[in-house]
Amino acid sequence: MTDWREWHEQYSDPVSSLSRRLRVVQRRLEDLLASGSIRRILSLCAGDGRDVIPVLARRPREGRPDTVLVELDPILATDAQRRAAEADVPVSVVVGDAGLAQTWTSVLTVDLLMLCGIGNIADEDIFDTVRAAPGLLSPAGVVIWTREAFNRDLRPQIRQSFEDAGFSEIAFDYEPAGYGVGVNCLTSGAPVSTLPERLFSFVRPPTPASGRVVAQPVKPFAPRCSR
Ligand SMILES: C[S@@+](CC[C@H](N)C(=O)[O-])C[C@H]1O[C@@H](n2cnc3c(N)ncnc32)[C@H](O)[C@@H]1O
């Protein structure tokens, strides 16, 4: 099993692939918050919350969205709580299984769903989660998601699955053999009336991709989303 606390230590190297991915996620979140349409955020498998909390801290206090982080590991959840307290950012940290709908249905719907670092789930769970995502979101809600290339690059299929589920892609940043960060906005599609009881379960980690990782510039981004 992956030791997720040890996994987070990769962030201590500012040039690691994970740190580069983090900066993209934060930048996209910053842009979305600046658009003023995000009032409620749900982050599943949130780790220690470092993607969300520092970005919220930079926002004016009165414009900060209500934010719920769901994390299974109690130590990482405590780290997230500490980080939020130190930044004076009010977030709710739920210690629980983010794959289970009952953990977070009470906070629905949200304007932004964060699915970052959820790579250790079965392929069919990925696509089931994307299909269910509209059911968690307000109209014109947005998903920020990440996926590594791994040894079998599913990023093209995941991007397509968002389109199929009624989302438009408003940004996709990636490194060919490294991370992918997608921002997708709900623009069409039928409402999801019932959510599955379970969206996903964690399984064995996928194999890392081979090949040279080339850093990519992050292009300017003006989120526009309507339904
Ligand atoms: C790859 S890390 C991503 C953390 C964070 N989202 C980030 O990108 O930095 C995956 C996280 O999911 C957590 N996790 C694993 N299974 C989970 C589950 N069933 N429910 C909630 N969190 C889970 C792990 O403890 C870990 O913190």
User: Tens digit of pLDDT for each residue in 137-151?
Assistant: 999 999 999 999 988
**Whole-number pLDDT of residue 119:** 86
State whether residue 81 is helix, strand or coil.
helix
Burial of 11 by CB count in 10 Å (0-12 exposed, 13-18 middle, 19+ buried)?
Answer: middle
State percent of the chain over pLDDT 70.
90
206 band by pLDDT with thresholds 50, 70 and 90 = low
pLDDT higher for 190 or 109?
109
**Whole-number pLDDT of residue 151:** 87
For residues 106 and 207, give the distance between their C-alpha atoms in angstroms, rounded to a whole number.
Answer: 35
Q: What is the pLDDT of residues 62-81, one digit of tens each?
A: 889 999 999 999 999 999 99
**Whole-number pLDDT of residue 224:** 67
pLDDT of 107 over the 80 cut: yes
Mean pLDDT over all residues of the chain? Answer: 92
**Whole-number pLDDT of residue 215:** 57
pLDDT higher for 107 or 206?
107
- Interval between CA 77 and ligand 1 midpoint (Å): 10
* DSSP E strand boundaries for 20-65: 40-44
193 band by pLDDT with thresholds 50, 70 and 90 = confident
Determine which helix (DSSP H) or strand (DSSP E) holds 132, and give its type and residue range.
Answer: helix 123-132
- Which CATH superfamily includes the segment(s) 4-186? Vaccinia Virus protein VP39 (3.40.50.150)
Show the ligand 1 pocket: residues with CB < 6 angstroms: 4, 7, 45-47, 51, 70-73, 76, 97-99, 116-117, 202
pLDDT of 213 over the 90 cut: no
| Spatial CB neighbours of 194, under 8 Å, sequence gap ≥ 6 | 135
- Interval between CA 99 and ligand 1 midpoint (Å): 10
Q: Where are the domains of the chain?
A: 4-186
Q: The dihedral of CA 62, 65, 70, 71: what is its sign? A: negative
CB contact at 8 A, 223 and 143: no
- Interval between CA 128 and ligand 1 midpoint (Å): 18
- Determine which residue's CA is closest to atom 27 belonging to ligand 1: 47
Q: What is the pLDDT of residues 10-65, one digit of tens each?
A: 999 999 999 999 999 999 999 999 999 999 999 999 999 999 999 999 999 988 99
**Whole-number pLDDT of residue 143:** 98
pLDDT of 212 over the 80 cut: no
* DSSP E strand boundaries for 119-166: 137-148
